[in-house]
A and B are shown apart, each in its own frame.
Chain A
Amino acid sequence: MFDLTGKRALVTGASGGIGSEIAKALTAAGARVALSGTRVPALEAVASEIGGDSPILPCNLSDLEAVDKLVPSAEAALGGLDILVNNAGMTRDNLFMRMKNEEWDDVIAVNLTAAFRISRSALRGMMKQRFGRIINISSVVGVVGNGGQANYAASKAGLIGMGKALAQEVASRNITVNAIAPGFIASAMTDELNDKQREAIFSTIPAARLGTAAEVAGCAVFLASDAAGYITGHTLDVNGGMVMV
């Protein structure tokens, strides 16, 4: 039921903690996964780790011309595209009153505009083949906000709204569009937190621990699979109970 044999996938931000885990999980479920990102050595490391004959497609998502070429190269490398995971994201945190125009623009461009453009170019093939799965990696911050992250929160909320609109347009073509909103996930960044910081964070999480990238990746496999064929426009919260909406 969760088998993805024969499916062709593209994951952006595939060298990151969550992105690499999603690529790994999709491959383990049987898909062939193209890896996109900016750090080629890191992408190569992920490719050799998952051992699934993964094409590497370097792409800087703030370069819109490169963005428009990403899906065509993925389709050429894989022979088509069934699953798109818009995972790439960046932060440029600042207090709202101090936030620079560039900090706002850069985050919106990479996190939201690139996802729009990549999805739009993926839809052509998905419409024709009457199958597609678009999975946008949002964030709990896009649901409840977070001080110091107005740009990031706007981009992550934007992914949810954009996905719901698109889901309505293409549902009749057997294309689903969903989001995953992770909470605190263990990463290189959270490894650096001290005990006191950890305690403060855990006190807001009923599960009293960080999530793992694998727990996010499992949701991506589910949403990509036939088992989730009737789920569209949905946001899966993966946050240990931190926020329940």
Chain B
Amino acid sequence: MSDIADRVRKIVVEHLNVDAEKVTEKASFIDDLGADSLDQVELVMAFEEEFSVEIPDDAAESIQTFGDAVAFLTKAVG
């Protein structure tokens, strides 16, 4: 697992208060990890801060799973 994935997982685990094992590639924040729509906004805010990037609204909406987030941030940071 990449460093980016580890940092994203840490944020998700802390914010949603879930076990790290549950945060898998396909895990949906809302359907699998118990997030509500406001949690999702907060996760995006936390990602922005952790990686010093700006995530536009349409991109934020497309980030539904842990894998989506890692893929987006890998591209944005790399």
Within the complex, what minimum Cβ distance (angstroms) separates A22 from chain B? Answer: 29
Interface residues on A, range: under 10
**CB-CB nearest in chain B for A172:** B38
Find chain B residues with CB under 8 A from A196 CB. none
- Interface of B (DSSP majority class): helix
Query: Of the candidates A128, A169, A170, A172, which one forms a contact with B45 in the assembled complex, judged by CB atoms under 8 Å apart?
Result: A128
B42 close to chain A: CB less than 8 A? yes
Q: Which of B1-57 contact A (CB under 8 A)?
A: 38, 41-42, 45
Residues of B near A124 (CB, < 8 A) are: 45
Find out whether the CB atom of B38 lies under 8 angstroms from the CB atom of A173.
Answer: yes
Q: Annotate A158-174 by CB proximity to B: 1 below 8 A, 0 otherwise.
A: 00000000000110110
A66 contacts chain B at the CB level, 8 A cutoff: no
A28–B23 Cα gap in the complex (Å)? 48
* Interface flag for A231 (CB, 8 Å): no
Contact with A along B40-78 (1 / 0, CB 8 A): 011001000000000000000000000000000000000
CB-nearest residue of chain A to B48: A124
A127 within 8 A of B: yes
A127, B42: Cα distance in complex, Å: 8
Distance in angstroms between the alpha carbons of A173 and B41 in the assembled complex: 13
- Closest A residue to B49 using CB positions: A128
Q: C-beta contact mask, A113-144 vs B, less than 8 Å → 1, else 0?
A: 00000000000100110000000000000000
| Residue in A closest to B36 when the chains form the complex, CB atoms | A172
Contacts of A170 in B (CB 8 A): 38
Q: How far is the CA of A124 from the CA of B45 in the complex (A)?
A: 8
Q: How far apart sit A222 and B38, CA to CA, in the bound complex (Å)?
A: 27
For the complex, what is the distance from the CA of A128 to the CA of B50, rounded to whole Å? 13
Give A130 Cβ to nearest chain B Cβ, in Å: 10
Interface hits, A161-212 → B, CB 8 Å: 169-170, 172-173
Chain A residue nearest in CB terms to B39: A172
Residues on the A chain within 8 Å of B45, using CB: 124, 127-128
CA–CA, A169 to B42, complex, Å? 13
Contacts of B38 in A (CB 8 A): 127, 169-170, 172-173
| B32 vs chain A, min Cβ distance (A) | 20
Which residues of B have CB within 8 Å of A128?
42, 45
Measured in the bound complex, the distance between the Cα atoms of B45 and A172 in whole Å is 17
Set of chain A residues within 8 Å of B42, measured between Cβ atoms: 127-128
Q: B residues engaging A (CB < 8 A)? A: 38, 41-42, 45
11 contacting pairs across A/B (C-beta < 8 A): A124-B45, A127-B38, A127-B41, A127-B42, A127-B45, A128-B42, A128-B45, A169-B38, A170-B38, A172-B38, A173-B38
Among all A-B residue pairs, the 8 with the closest Cβ atoms: A127-B42, A169-B38, A124-B45, A172-B38, A128-B45, A173-B38, A170-B38, A127-B45
| 8 other A-B residue contacts (CB within 8 Å) besides A127-B38, A127-B42, A128-B45 | A124-B45, A127-B41, A127-B45, A128-B42, A169-B38, A170-B38, A172-B38, A173-B38
